[in-house]
Amino acid sequence: MQAFKYFIATDARHAVALLAQHAPARLLAGGTDLLPELKASLHTSKTVIDISRVSDMHKIELSERGLSIGALVTHSEIMAAPVICDMFPALVSAAHSIGAVQTRNLGTLGGNLVTAVPSVDSGPTLIALDALVTIAGATGLRQMPLADFFIAPRKTALKPDELLVEVLIPKENLNKPAHFLKFGLRKGQALALVNAAASLWLDPKKNTCTAVRIALGAVAPTVIRAVSAEKFLEGRSATPKNFSEAARLAVEDTHPISDMRASAGYRKDLVAVLVKRALEAACAQAKAAQDNTGKRK
């Protein structure tokens, strides 16, 4: 690995100050992407700012604002967090689908998101839950929808002196039924050919879907929402026929490429299957939650 200057940030504010002072610098969190890049000398940057011990970006916290997940929370910590297992099993599935144990123990949610690769496994579920990201910079904090954070492959809305500090699932979406699916060539250590997440609320009396969100990865330059499929399903009943039609419409929302992993046509076929299954699973989760509430009454 080429030599670099190394600074350790103690908290987010310190990290921002170091960034301002040493830009362009690279941030080290889990290191699972950065170290291979530094070894391959892909970056000319000669400065690394280690944020892995930053004290105020490690929390998973339920508050008035919703569920806040610090950018430095690792994939393993997401899988083990009772509040996430309870409210958002889809986030647990997404975290579990990344890499293998060793990389999940190191890799962080924020690190995964800032890679902004089209197949980013943390992306679809969070976008399907309308997650926001909090960004720290010299002028303070700013917040934006995660969907707008991804700009192009490997490009985010972060400016060189900014830092992703938190992901927030807004309070209106706490416990929102959601499901994540990933199709890769293997279960472990594989990039997604396609990944998909769906979330919805189910009206218990009318059996209709509302606030439908369908987010897809690896089928466009960034994670996208299948907007025409969402619109079709909004207010319609949760039936296999409607889910099939939504899945068909979702395919039309995608623009996959052919590469060494899969052809565009194969990816489109996968979209139809994964969207239908994700919708069915989210719907089943909604029904199970309603049954539980019924029993409690």
Partner 1 sequence: MINISFTLNGEKRSASVPPETTLLKMLRESLNLTGAKLGCDVGDCGACTVIVDGKAVNSCLMLACQVEGRDVLTIEGLATPDHLHPIQEAFENSAALQCGFCGPGVILSAKALLDANPNPDVAEIRDALAGNLCRCTGYTKMISAVQTAACTLNGKPAEHSA
CB of 287 to partner 1, least distance (A): 26
Decide: is 30 part of the binding site for partner 1 (CB under 8 A).
Answer: yes
Angle at 255 between CA 254 and CA 257, to 5 degrees: 135
By CB under 8 A, residue 99 contacts partner 1: yes
> Which residue is associated with the tokens 């690190």?
111
Residue from 45, 105, 207, 242 in contact with partner 1 (CB under 8 A):
105
Query: Does 85 help bind partner 1 (rule: CB under 8 A)?
Result: no
Name the residue type at position 95: A
Binding of residue 62 to partner 1 (CB under 8 A): no
Out of 36, 160, 235, 265, which residue is the one contacting partner 1 (CB under 8 A)?
36
Paired tokens of 176? 């929102």
The count of C-alpha atoms lying within 13 angstroms of the C-alpha of 61, restricted to the half-sphere facing its C-beta, is: 12
Long-range contacts of 96-102 (CB under 8 A, 24+ apart): 97/121, 97/180, 97/182, 97/184, 97/192, 97/195, 98/122, 99/32, 99/75, 99/188, 99/189, 100/188, 100/189, 101/76
Give the binding range for partner 1 (CB under 8 A) out of 9-17, 62-70, 103-111, 249-257: 103-111
Residue 111 lies near partner 1 (rule: CB under 8 A): no
Q: Pick the piece of the chain touching partner 1 (CB under 8 A) from 4-12, 61-69, 140-148, 262-270.
A: 4-12
Q: Does 260 bind partner 1 (CB under 8 A)?
A: no
Q: How far is the CB of 1 from partner 1 (least distance, A)?
A: 4
| Cβ–Cβ under 8 Å, residues 283 and 247 | no
Q: From CA 93, how far away is CA 167, in angstroms rounded?
A: 17
Least distance (Å) from partner 1 to the CB of residue 2? 7
* 202 half-sphere exposure, CB direction, 13 A CA radius: 23
**Measured from the CB atom, is 47 or 290 closer to partner 1?**
47
Cα 51 from Cα 28, distance rounded (Å): 6
- 111 or 217: CB nearest partner 1: 111
Q: What's the Cα-to-Cα distance from 254 to each of 211, 220, 228, 275, rounded to whole Å?
A: 20, 6, 11, 12
Residue 42 interacting with partner 1 (CB under 8 A): no
**Position 21 contacts partner 1 (CB under 8 A):** no
Residue in this structure with the two tokens 């700009």, named with its chain if needed = 151
- If binding is defined by CB under 8 A, does position 10 make contact with partner 1? no
Least distance from partner 1 to the Cβ atom of residue 166, Å: 22
Q: What does the alpha-carbon distance between residue 174 and residue 11 come to, in Å, rounded to a whole number?
A: 28
Segment contacting partner 1 by CB under 8 A, of 100-108, 140-148, 215-223, 259-267: 100-108
Which residues inside 170-189 make contact with partner 1, applying CB under 8 A?
Answer: 187-189
CB 142 within 8 A of CB 159: no
Choosing from 50, 56, 234, 245, the residue that interacts with partner 1 (CB under 8 A) is 50
Contacting positions for partner 1 (CB under 8 A): 1-6, 8, 28, 30-32, 35-36, 38-39, 48, 50, 52, 76, 99-103, 105-106, 187-189
